[in-house]
Each structure stands twice: as structure tokens, then as C-alpha cells.
């Protein structure tokens, strides 16, 4: 009987040891697996709006407001900015008197104005809260001209149009020397 008890004790110890080792191996395999670091997809919502104000003799004579269109170049530029591959922000304002409807494939405004004080100019950035900002530029007009198409570029020269807005003939600004045109673009991301 004593031999049987010893054999039973050895079997019990062996079974217990195998069970503990098995549990340890299973836990080790589970706990030592690499942790998944999947971030998943995220969505960024954006809006760009443009105000154009025309002043004559210091008095506001016309103010218009429209949503802007993000061009294909602008989407690529936004991707590069978020990815750290570019430092060229959407900060150069430009205008035109062309009546063409905005095309997302544009890289320049058709017939961009470069005379009469209305050439492409760097805008001033101002944060207006979490995820919102304004970019503002004021042109001082030095001759007679008209504007109704506006754009935002990422550089001071070249084909790098990011945003465009056609305000149309009904919102055309007919300017003369001494007038000012203030362009404010409001951006929002969420």
C-alpha cells in the first residue's frame, strides 16, 4: 500500500507540475504576444470661407462672403503639411476678374491680377480658437480694376493654388486708385 501511495503521490506531483508548466506556457505565449498598435482611420472635417470687403475713402461700400473650394493641389498640400513633408502654408492671397467657374484641378487662378496693387500677397495669420483661424490681407489699389475670383496659394509665386472662390459678376468689385480690398479667409478643422 505504501508503494501505491508513493506512486499516486508521484503521479499527482507530476500532473500538478505539468499543469502548472502548461498554464505558464499558455500565459507566456498570450502575454508575450506583440500588442496591436492599430490607430485606425480618422477623418478631418474642414471649411474655408472668404470675406471680401471693399472700402472707398475709409467707408465700407461692398462686403461679400462665400465658401471656398479646396483644389486637388490643396488636398495634396494639406497631406504634405500633416505628414511633415512641407512647410508651405495656405497663406498667399490673390485675385482675378475671370468669370470661369472654379475647377478643383486648377493650380493657378485664370488671369490672376498682378497690377494696380492687387498682386499676390502674404496674409496675416490669427488664431480664433481651437481649430479655427483667420488669414487676412488688405490690398491698397493703385489703379482701376475689377475683381470677383479669389484664391489662396502656398507660395508667393508659381502654380500652387490651394483654395479658390468665384463670387460671380453680381459680386464684382470695381475698384479705383485709393480703394482697399480686404480679403479674410476663415479656416476651421474638426
Report pLDDT digits (tens) over 128-138: 999 999 999 99
Which candidate, 129, 136, 126, 134, places its Cα nearest to that of 180?
136
Residue 190's pLDDT is 86
Residue 90's pLDDT is 95
Q: Pull the grid cell for residue 135.
A: 488669414
Residue 37's pLDDT is 47
| Banded model confidence at residue 10, pLDDT cuts 50, 70, 90 | low
Helix (H) or strand (E) holding 6, with range, is helix 2-31
Asked whether residue 29 carries a pLDDT value surpassing 50, the answer given is no
CA 50 to chain centre: 15
Residue 13's pLDDT is 65
Mean pLDDT in residue range 128-151:
97
Residue 43's pLDDT is 79
Mean pLDDT in residue range 33-41:
51
Asked whether residue 79 carries a pLDDT value surpassing 60, the answer given is yes
Backbone angles phi and psi of 154, in degrees to 5: -95, -10
Asked whether residue 182 carries a pLDDT value surpassing 60, the answer given is yes
Mean pLDDT in residue range 5-28:
59
Which single residue is written with the C-alpha cell 480703394? 179
What is the chain's mean pLDDT, rounded? 87
Mean pLDDT in residue range 81-96:
94
Residue 33 has what DSSP assignment? S
Q: How far apart are CA 174 and CA 179, in angstroms?
A: 10
Amino acid at each position: 500500500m505504501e508503494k501505491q501511495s508513493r506512486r499516486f503521490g508521484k503521479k499527482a506531483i507530476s500532473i500538478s507540475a505539468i499543469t502548472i508548466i502548461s498554464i505558464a506556457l499558455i500565459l507566456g505565449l498570450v502575454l508575450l504576444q506583440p500588442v496591436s498598435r492599430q490607430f485606425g482611420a480618422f477623418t478631418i472635417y474642414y471649411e474655408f470661407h472668404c470675406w471680401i470687403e471693399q472700402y472707398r475713402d475709409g467707408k465700407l461700400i461692398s462686403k461679400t462672403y462665400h465658401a471656398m473650394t479646396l483644389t486637388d493641389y490643396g488636398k495634396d498640400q494639406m497631406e504634405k503639411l500633416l505628414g511633415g513633408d512641407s512647410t508651405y502654408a495656405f497663406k498667399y492671397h490673390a485675385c482675378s476678374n475671370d468669370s470661369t467657374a472654379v475647377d478643383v484641378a486648377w493650380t493657378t487662378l485664370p488671369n490672376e491680377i498682378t497690377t494696380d496693387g492687387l498682386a499676390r500677397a502674404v496674409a496675416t495669420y490669427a488664431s480664433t480658437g481651437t481649430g479655427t483661424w483667420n488669414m487676412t490681407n488688405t490690398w491698397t489699389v493703385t489703379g482701376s480694376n475689377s475683381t470677383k475670383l479669389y484664391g489662396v496659394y502656398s507660395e508667393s509665386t508659381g502654380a500652387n493654388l490651394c483654395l479658390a472662390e468665384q463670387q460671380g459678376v453680381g459680386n464684382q468689385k470695381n475698384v479705383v486708385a485709393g480703394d482697399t480690398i480686404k480679403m479674410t479667409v476663415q479656416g476651421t478643422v474638426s
